[in-house]
Amino acid sequence: FISESWLIEKDLDVILSNISNIQSTQTQIAIATSKRQENSLISTRDSIMDSTRNLLNDKKNRIKTLELQDLRISRNSITWEDFELRKQRVTHLKEKFVTCLQTYRKIENIYMKQQKERLSRQYKIVYPDAKDEEIDEYLKNPTDQPVFLSSRRSIIDSKNVLEEVNKRHHDIKKIEQTISELVALFEEIQLQVELQDEIIISITDEVKTVEVTTREAKVELEKVEVVNKSSRKLKWLCALFTLILFGIIILIV
């Protein structure tokens, strides 16, 4: 149990490191000075994101398995101290897992906001007089609106801008999908906690009851031992008294 819990925690540290690398790479994407550089950074970022997604799903399942194993063992025979130690380790791993999810979601929300701001600026380049409502409507689904091709800019310029917009929109959709996955993982781990709470409380009471019963049984055994010792002494006294009485009778006769 302890060995597995430490391995899981080590992998959670790797996830946090990956999240930091994703954040750093996305910062570089935002300030990339060429398409080649930006595409290379996006490819690197996507690779880290795929690895992190797999790690998160694996850690969720391993934490769940560890908790179920812990619950089964707790039903049998372990001390209250061991039970508390196991419970604390599982709780710690869950909290660290949730921290990973929250940190990841935070940096992705920030990046998505930055990308939408870039889309907004590109829209204003083509339509300087555009109102906020018009831009918001466009940002909901930019690829369905051929606004750049219908603008007064040259066709080549408009196509270049549209290409950038489509790339940005695709990136935003990818981030939105990642955020949705993080929300699902968070809800699943929280639901798991709620479902296990009643079982844990029941097992806690069961362990306490077993310990109390064990202590009471020990006290009763000690009492029985005292009674047995007293009985043995009484038997020896009776035997000695019988021998003395028998000796007196012989002397009298």
DSSP-assigned states of every residue in 15-59: HHHHHHHHHHHHHHHHT-SSHHHHHHHHHHHHHHHHHHHHHHHHH
Does residue 83 or residue 11 have the better pLDDT? 11
| pLDDT classification of 52: cutoffs 50, 70, 90 | very high
Compute φ and ψ for 180, nearest 5 degrees. -60, -40
How far the first Cα of the chain sits from its last, in Å, is 80
Say if residues 64 and 40 touch (Cβ distance below 8 Å).
no
What's the mean pLDDT in 22-37?
91
pLDDT at 107: 95
pLDDT at 247: 63
How far apart are the C-alpha atoms of 18 and 38, rounded to whole Å? 19
How far apart are the C-alpha atoms of 29 and 194, rounded to whole Å? 40
Token representation of residue 173? 């959709």
Prediction pTM value:
0.68
Hey, what domains does the chain have and what are their CATH numbers? Answer: 2-201 (1.20.58.70)
Is the confidence at residue 36, as pLDDT, over 80?
Answer: yes
What's the mean pLDDT in 177-199?
74
> Could you read off the pLDDT of 60-82 as tens digits, one per residue?
999 988 888 777 775 555 777 78
Is the confidence at residue 42, as pLDDT, over 90?
Answer: yes
> Could you read off the pLDDT of 97-128 as tens digits, one per residue?
999 999 999 999 999 998 888 888 877 777 77
Is the confidence at residue 190, as pLDDT, over 80?
Answer: no
CB atoms within 10 A of CB 164: 16
CA angle 193–17–84, rounded 5-degree value:
35
Average pLDDT, the chain: 77
